[in-house]
Amino acid sequence: MAISLMADAFEGKIEYLQIMDEKGNADQSLMPKDLSDSRILDMYKYMVLARAADAKTLSLQRQGRAATYAPLVGEEATQIGSALAMRQKDIFVPNFRQHGVYLARGTPPEALFLYWRGYEEGSSLPREFGALPIIVPVSTQMPHGAGMAMAQKYLKTGAAVVVYVGDGGTSEGDFYEALNFAGVWKAPLVTIIENNQWAISVPRRDQTAAKTLAQKAMAAGVPGMQVDGNDVLAVYKATKDAIESSAYGPQVIECVTYRMSMHTTADDPTKYRSDAEVEAWKKKDPILRVRLYLEKKGLWDDAKQKALEEEQSKFIDDAVDKAEKFVPDPKSMFSNVYSYMPQVLQHELDDALKAGFWQGDSK
């Protein structure tokens, strides 16, 4: 064997995938084989549902019926495409904007409304849903994803773990640490970078000097690719392939999309970005292009749209009703801290009950 003093050379290239363009024309040669028109119709319906639930939560927040809320509008293709690519057994790990993923994975919307109304009970989905709760500190969910993926390997479940992170999140140490761990462990972790161009007021170009976010995976020896995050077909195909490949190690997909609304309801994006930029992205709307595609195929029309909107509106309103009927029990704060009730907590609970702190507050 020859002795070489040279380090192994490394050459990286990030592939970009788009299947359906802004006019709703799909490149049939790239179309996933398993994707029937009825499945594309499902995708469309879930995207419309996600946007409708989003608009509803925003309006509830404006009426004081929900706490601070992080809207998803504009990011439907990234969320629905990836969610529908998951298998039943796969587990998803969100940060705080993936309401569309929850809905497409069959989460009862009342859980989401309950969460945004400010109750932990909205985060207590049974384990069968294969979904972790909303996580607020940016990128701190990434190592959980790596550990969960490692556990799937150890427990031989055959499941993959799909973790979501934003463009800003890729600047955090936890992002790299998680990819690095998953890489060493060859754990079945698929990371979806939901690059919506803005981390509150900081644009993508000020977040990193890296040309793509996907290439950050390469530093950890993990394959990364970029897709048109407003193209539900591309997101679906990339995620499905990545889940399959993750049996041999982690995968990263950067979905290039756009946050069409504010970071959260506490934010005013007009302070830091131009209307012209927002208008340009509106032309790339992820829902519109699927509708154009379906219309061209004779699968969709205004009457169907109206019927769908009415059906979804009732579904959402029923869920809001259920969420608003929820009665909080302050005792549950105390009984879910440890696996048992320590004396110190019991005393604090007894004092609160004795003092009648909560009277009239929780009916």
Partner 1 sequence: MKANMVTAINNALELSMKENDRIVLLGEDIGKDGGVFRVTEGLQAKFGESRVMDTPLAESGILGASIGMALAGMHPVPEVQFAGFMFLGFSQLINHASRYRSRTRSIYPVPMVVRTPVSGGVRTLEHHSDSPEAYYSHIGGLIVVEPSTPYDAKGLMIKALRMNDPVVFLEPTKLYRLFKEDIPDDMYEVPIGKAKLLSEGSDLSIITYGTMAPLVKDVVAKKKVSADVLDLRTINPLDEEAILASARKTGRVIIVHEASMSFGVGAEIAARIAENAIFELKAPVMRVASPSFPYPMPGYEKYYIPNELKVSQAIDHIMAVQD
* Distance in angstroms (rounded) separating the CA atoms of residues 73 and 263: 10
What is the sign of the dihedral through the CA atoms of 173, 174, 175 and 180? Answer: positive
**Nearer to partner 1 (CB atom), residue 80 or residue 132:** 132
**From the CB of 331, what's the least distance to partner 1, in Å?**
12
- What the block records as the tokens of 211 is 């040309």
φ/ψ of 342, rounded to 5, equals -70, 155
Q: Is 120 in the site for partner 1 (CB under 8 A)?
A: yes
**From the CB of 120, what's the least distance to partner 1, in Å?**
5
**Of the residues 146, 233, 255, 292, which one makes contact with partner 1 according to CB under 8 A:** 146
**Of the residues 332, 350, 358, 362, which one makes contact with partner 1 according to CB under 8 A:** 332
**Of the residues 266, 333, 357, 358, which one makes contact with partner 1 according to CB under 8 A:** 333
The total number of residues written for the chain in this structure: 363
Catalytic, 272? Answer: yes
* Distance in angstroms (rounded) separating the CA atoms of residues 13 and 218: 9
**Nearer to partner 1 (CB atom), residue 140 or residue 264:** 140
Which residue bears the tokens 């995050």?
Answer: 229
- What the block records as the tokens of 163 is 């973790």
Q: Is 118 in the site for partner 1 (CB under 8 A)?
A: no
* Distance in angstroms (rounded) separating the CA atoms of residues 15 and 225: 5
Catalytic, 176? Answer: no
Q: Is 152 in the site for partner 1 (CB under 8 A)?
A: yes
Of 27-35, 55-63, 299-307, 343-351, the segment contacting partner 1 by CB under 8 A is 343-351
Q: Compute the half-sphere exposure of residue 217: CA atoms within 13 Å on the CB side of its CA.
A: 28
Nearest to 168 by CA among 196, 136, 142: 196
Which residue bears the tokens 């698929």?
Answer: 190
**From the CB of 205, what's the least distance to partner 1, in Å?**
27
Q: Is 121 in the site for partner 1 (CB under 8 A)?
A: yes
Q: Which helix (H) or strand (E) holds 227?
A: strand 224-228
Of 74-82, 232-240, 260-268, 331-339, the segment contacting partner 1 by CB under 8 A is 331-339
**Of the residues 127, 205, 271, 363, which one makes contact with partner 1 according to CB under 8 A:** 127
**Nearer to partner 1 (CB atom), residue 126 or residue 360:** 126
Q: Is 147 in the site for partner 1 (CB under 8 A)?
A: yes
DSSP per position, 15-77: -EE-SB-TTS-B-GGGS-TT--HHHHHHHHHHHHHHHHHHHHHHHHHHTTSS-S----TT-HH
Q: Which residues, including other chains, have CB under 8 Å from residue 133's CB and lie 6 or more apart?
A: 94, 115, 123, 124, 125
Q: Is 140 in the site for partner 1 (CB under 8 A)?
A: yes
**From the CB of 2, what's the least distance to partner 1, in Å?**
29
Q: Which residues, including other chains, have CB under 8 Å from residue 59's CB and lie 6 or more apart?
A: none
Given 259, 289, 291, 293, which residue is catalytic?
A: 259
| Residue 164, SS3 per DSSP | strand
Count of residues near partner 1 by CB under 8 A:
44
Determine the residue type at 292: L
**Nearer to partner 1 (CB atom), residue 274 or residue 336:** 336
Q: Is 243 in the site for partner 1 (CB under 8 A)?
A: no
Q: Is 219 in the site for partner 1 (CB under 8 A)?
A: no
Q: Is 154 in the site for partner 1 (CB under 8 A)?
A: yes
Of 33-41, 63-71, 100-108, 177-185, the segment contacting partner 1 by CB under 8 A is 177-185
**Nearer to partner 1 (CB atom), residue 48 or residue 161:** 161
Q: State the catalytic residues.
A: 259, 263, 272
Binding site for partner 1 (CB under 8 A): 91, 120-121, 123-127, 132-133, 135, 137, 140, 142-152, 154-155, 173-174, 177-178, 180-181, 184, 332-333, 336-339, 342-345, 347
